[in-house]
Chain A
Amino acid sequence: KNQVEQSPQSLIILEGKNCTLQCNYTVSPFSNLRWYKQDTGRGPVSLTIMTFSENTKSNGRYTATLDADTKQSSLHITASQLSDSASYICVVNPLSGGYNKLIFGAGTRLAVHP
């Protein structure tokens, strides 16, 4: 059973629109939750990192939220741009683990159309 589930698998939106990507996790306890952006044919790049005690973290037009009670995180993209077309990956770091224990979601593939 996947410990980090992302939805939707893929999403198409029009340029300028907002969107929200979801991440549900069962990992508990955890140290931090990360969102990465992966452009096609490139490696993932860190967008946000939130500790278990944080509720929200922003990076420009990207805002991540965390609800530890429901074990859900979301990534909200405001005023989308064509360059936002990418896969977005949710990653949970268990409390007891180092980097070798990171648990990756399968990602949401976002396409922004003009």
Chain B
Amino acid sequence: DVKVTQSSRYLVKRTGEKVFLECVQDMDHENMFWYRQDPGLGLRLIYFSYDVKMKEKGDIPEGYSVSREKKERFSLILESASTNQTSMYLCASSPYRRAREGEKLFFGSGTQLSVL
């Protein structure tokens, strides 16, 4: 089974801190994604990557950056955490660049980040 591992289940940070969220997948997938999930809203894409050292902005990239130095690892960085970044962050991976028929998107368990 594909395993997408997020390094922390819960994080509490102070406003202004630099925050790193780590994600590792073990199936040699090309694509990796970072979403945030807030109550009453659908998942929103922050950033994604189709290849090592490659990144593209999603729908809500402001206040975030990412790093993909190795194929299996995709990091989300909050340069200066703010209270409105309190959220559940979900990492996901998929084998191919396009969402092919019958192909799944695999999610990690999520990191609940609280910024105080």
Contact = CB atoms under 8 A, between A and B. Distances in A.
Interface stretch (A14-22, A60-68, A76-84, A102-110): A102-110
Interface residues of A, number: 27
Interface secondary structure of A, over-half rule: mixed
Given A41-B110, A43-B4, A104-B42, A32 B31 contact: no
B41 A106 contact: yes
Q: Chain B interface: which size bin?
A: 20 to 34
Interface secondary structure of B, over-half rule: loop
B54 interface: no
Interface in B64-93: 90, 92
A6 to B, nearest CB: 9
Nearest to A42: B109
A49 interface: yes
Interface of A: 2, 4, 9, 31-32, 34, 41-46, 49, 51, 89, 93, 97-107
